[in-house]
Amino acid sequence: MINPIAEVSTTSSNENLTLNEVEDPAKCEVPKHSKFKKAAHKVMRIKRVTKLDRNLLLGNSSGVDLKLPPSYISEIFTLTNISVIDYDQESYKYTALENETLAKFLQKERPAFSKVRWINVQGISFDVIKILGEFYNLHPLALEDIFHIPQRIKCDYYDGQLFVSMILLNLSENFVSENVNAESERGILTPFRRKQSFELPINSSSIDVPGERGLCSTLFGGAQGYLKQLGLSSKQLELFRRPECQVEQCSFFVLNNGVIISIFQNESEQITESLKKRLKPLANINSHPPTSNNAKKVEYPKSLLRKSSDVSILLHSLIDGCVDYNSLLLDFYAKQIDSLQDMVISNPKEIYTKILHLIGKELKMIHRALKPQQSLVAAISERNIDESKNADESLVTISKLAKVYFNDVSDQCIMVNEELQAFETNTKDLIDLTFNSISHSTNESMRTLAVVSVIFLPITFLAGVYGMNFRNFPEIETENGYYYFWVYTALSMD
């Protein structure tokens, strides 16, 4: 029997980590047809979230009543990966959960040392959202925003809780260059999704199925077929391959009792794994185990998350990870625009304007999707300035330390918006440059033709006149008529 709960706990009084071993579900022998069947059911269930029919929303009341939910929401189910981390400056406890074990775990008493409890959910499933919503009394309007995907970037303050909606933009990985693949192998974070695989992991919160274009909402895509009709070379098709951009929803709840809940629509390892490493205590490799002669206590290096033990600092880290993740899209478009700029300057062609038009359209859609990030960060960091005078303990407050770090995130959001605006301007300028260069080349050609026309037009006129079949042509019968013709021609050209 698989033990679904794995706990790792450390306290200041006991430096030795204790681990309850859990059997790895991936190692269990499961028939291949059973794997595929479960994976296929999971994909169909997630599709209900990503392809929600907007007509179903007509006539329904605002918010989600967990006791009487609409059928299109109550049927949403997927196997989620849930992790719970309790920590303060000195203690740390990690618990891995699944759909069936979440309710039982929440009934347990929260550790006394736990200043911050972080509940991270990978995947959207109604049974999990219902358990969390009922236990922590999450607001119905915020719960509704979790299921209505895609949701715009925003934050809402409710009684005793703060709801934050963020997005992650993922580019399809079919066109990734060798440089990006090399960076990925070195462990550098990239904005591209995993390559599609024929192995279907049952316990993963996201499954890539051959032929599927992804489990998230699509922001734009499908322009690659249009490029093939433009007559580009295979090298140019590979260089300017148009991506498919998918939107992954991220929802965060911050409660006034030190609890933060993060819900990711699909994968979240790019954001959460680095945070977990910064939270997990690591023994100092330079320290020696205590002996009778050297009874020295082992020290653990602590990050800002552990030192502060502040839920608003953890919220900052999650939002900062989302902002940094989305900003990596700029590298891809910067390389494409630079390549097009070199080609336009060296050999301008009308076909490049069509590629630039597609890039400009994609940049506009990305800019429109990410622009609210700046106002979101400002709303979070500045919200409590006016409300700090009120002695209402139900309000979620952002610490002064977190506000300092949120200012850095605000600067990053401004940089992303300015870069996107600059890219849009560059595409327009390159389109204008292409047309101006083509127009200049056409004008030069017309100038050459005009010079040739000036030279040969008089000759054509004279040849036309004396080529007529008139019987009476005194010049032709003249002895020196041929020489007179060339004299007239030379005089007309002057």
Query: Mean pLDDT, to the nearest integer, of 258-284?
Result: 83
Strands 259-264 and 116-122, sheet pairing? parallel
- pLDDT, residue 293, reads 47
Mean pLDDT for 15-20 is 35
How far apart CA 355 and CA 342 sit, in angstroms, is 14
Total residues found in the chain within this entry:
494
Residue 444 confidence class, pLDDT cut points 50, 70, 90: confident
Position 384 pLDDT exceeds 80: no
| 288 vs 315, higher pLDDT | 315
State yes or no: pLDDT of 299 exceeds 70.
Answer: no
Identify the top-confidence range among 262-266, 284-288, 395-399, 443-447: 262-266
Tracing tokens 């989302």 back to the chain, one arrives at 322
Of the candidate ranges 40-44, 142-146, 285-289, 466-470, the one whose mean pLDDT is the lowest = 285-289
- In this prediction, what percent of the chain has a pLDDT beyond 70? 69
Cα(179)–Cα(172) distance, integer angstroms: 16
Q: Rounded to whole angstroms, how far apart are CA atoms 271 and 320? A: 9
Q: What band does 484 get if pLDDT is binned at 50, 70 and 90?
A: confident
Give the pLDDT mean for 343-355.
89
Q: Across all residues in the chain, what is the average pLDDT? A: 74
Per-residue pLDDT at 97: 94
Q: What is the C-alpha R_g of the chain? A: 34
**Over pLDDT 90: what percentage of the chain?**
31
Lowest mean pLDDT among 93-107, 279-293, 383-397: 279-293
What was the pLDDT predicted at 15? Answer: 35
Instruction: Write the pLDDT tens digit of every residue in 150-194.
Output: 788 999 999 889 999 999 888 765 443 333 343 333 333 333 333
Helix (H) or strand (E) holding 442: helix 400-466
- 298 vs 286: CA distance, rounded Å: 10
More confident: 60 or 127:
127
Per the CB < 8 A criterion, the answer to whether 425 and 335 are in contact is: no
CB half-sphere exposure, 281, CA atoms < 13 A: 25
Mean pLDDT of 38-47: 52
pLDDT (average), residues 440-455 = 84
pLDDT of residue 327: 77
Coil, strand or helix: which one is 282? Answer: coil
- Report, as an integer, the average pLDDT of 278-288: 59
**Encoding tokens for residue 166?**
């963020």
Structure tokens at 354: 């069509």
If pLDDT is split at 50, 70 and 90, which confidence band does 209 have? very low
